[in-house]
Amino acid sequence: MSNIRQTRNRIKSVKNIQQITRAMKMVASARMHKAQIQLLETRPYSGKLREMIQHLAGHAHGELHPLFSENRSPRTGWVVLTSDKGLCAGFNIQTLQVVGRRLVEATPDQDLEVIAVGRKGLDFFRRTGVKPYREWAGFWQELSWYHADIIGQEIIDGYIAGQWSSVALVYNRFKSALAQEVIQESLLPLPKPARTGEDGNHFREYEFEPSTEEIYASLLPRYVKISIWRALLESKAAELAARMQAMDNATESAGEMIDDLTLKMNRARQALITREISELMGSAEAVTA
């Protein structure tokens, strides 16, 4: 009887967990759709801004902006985007495995400096003894342009000051509700364009109003921040998709566990009933004997 009671209590506990995972799946699904819409609106803008900057830079005279120049620093900056919370399957693990391998492979003359975004990444770096150059966490629930602005400005200032020879973004790219892809994307320096015209044979002259320097000073930092903003949106949508899928799997697993426990309980009850009937029949035979 005690085994039946324990199994019944386990079934009740699993059902409570199943209700939680089902609710978390629904919340993640609703938030993912909102994040996906915002991401799809940002992708074309980011691509067109990059195309415009490359076009203008290919037709400009004189020295290009410092963000086009590669520094001589031995350090390479990696902006690593992870989530603040878990329960999202391998979302964080895949990203941190890529960064972990790069940290192991780094040589003394090719140092890797981490800019950590997200609490899970911070926890990982603290466990491995890596001190990030800068760290941000606790804002994913209220993600806004403000966060891309401050992160981007910090990276721009550090790069212009010669802190890194290059800066890369490492994050999960949102492909679909069922798939995410770890991306290593170069952020700085900006690629230098070929100084040719559309026909590829000559340089077409353009007059810049205002000056080239003023245009670059306005557009290039905005492009860096837009790239970070897009990566943040990609990571947020991918995290919610991974959490939705993880909670869906957990809900299904809970259902299977409930079925198995129910079958186990029914078998135990049937065995108990059979034993009681046998005992009653034995007692009846003893009385009539």
d(CA 194, CA 203): 9
Q: For a pLDDT cut of 90, what percent of the chain falls above it? A: 54
Which residue is it, tokens 């837009």?
Answer: 226
29-70 per-position pLDDT tens digit:
999 999 999 999 999 988 888 888 877 766 655 567 888 888
Contact in structure between 160 and 67 (CB atoms under 8 Å): yes
What is the mean predicted confidence (pLDDT) over 70-97?
91
Would you kindly state where each structural domain of the chain is located, as residue ranges? 2-17+246-279, 25-245
How many distinct helices (H) and strands (E) make up the chain? 5, 5
| Per-residue model confidence (pLDDT) at position 223 | 92
d(CA 52, CA 111): 33
Which residue is it, tokens 């966490």?
Answer: 137
Mean pLDDT, the chain, rounded, equals 86
Q: Which amino acid is at 60?
A: A
Q: Residue 210: is the preceding peptide bond cis (ω within 30°)? A: yes
Confirm or reject CATH 3.40.1380.10 for domain 25-245, answering yes or no.
yes
Q: Report long-range pairs for 106-110 (Cβ below 8 Å, ≥24 apart).
A: 109/74, 110/74, 110/76
Q: Which amino acid is at 4?
A: I
| Per-residue model confidence (pLDDT) at position 81 | 96
181-203 per-position pLDDT tens digit:
999 999 999 887 655 554 454 44
| Per-residue model confidence (pLDDT) at position 246 | 93
Answer yes or no: is pLDDT of 244 > 50.
yes
Q: C-alpha angle with apex 39: 69 to 132, nearest 5 degrees?
A: 50
Confirm or reject CATH 1.10.287 for domain 2-17+246-279, answering yes or no.
yes
231 contact partners, CB below 8 Å, separation of at least 6:
79, 81, 169, 171, 185
108-166 per-position pLDDT tens digit:
667 889 999 999 999 999 998 999 999 999 999 999 999 999 999 999 999 999 999 99
What is the mean predicted confidence (pLDDT) over 87-101?
90
Burial of 263 (0-12, 13-18, 19+ CB in 10 A): exposed
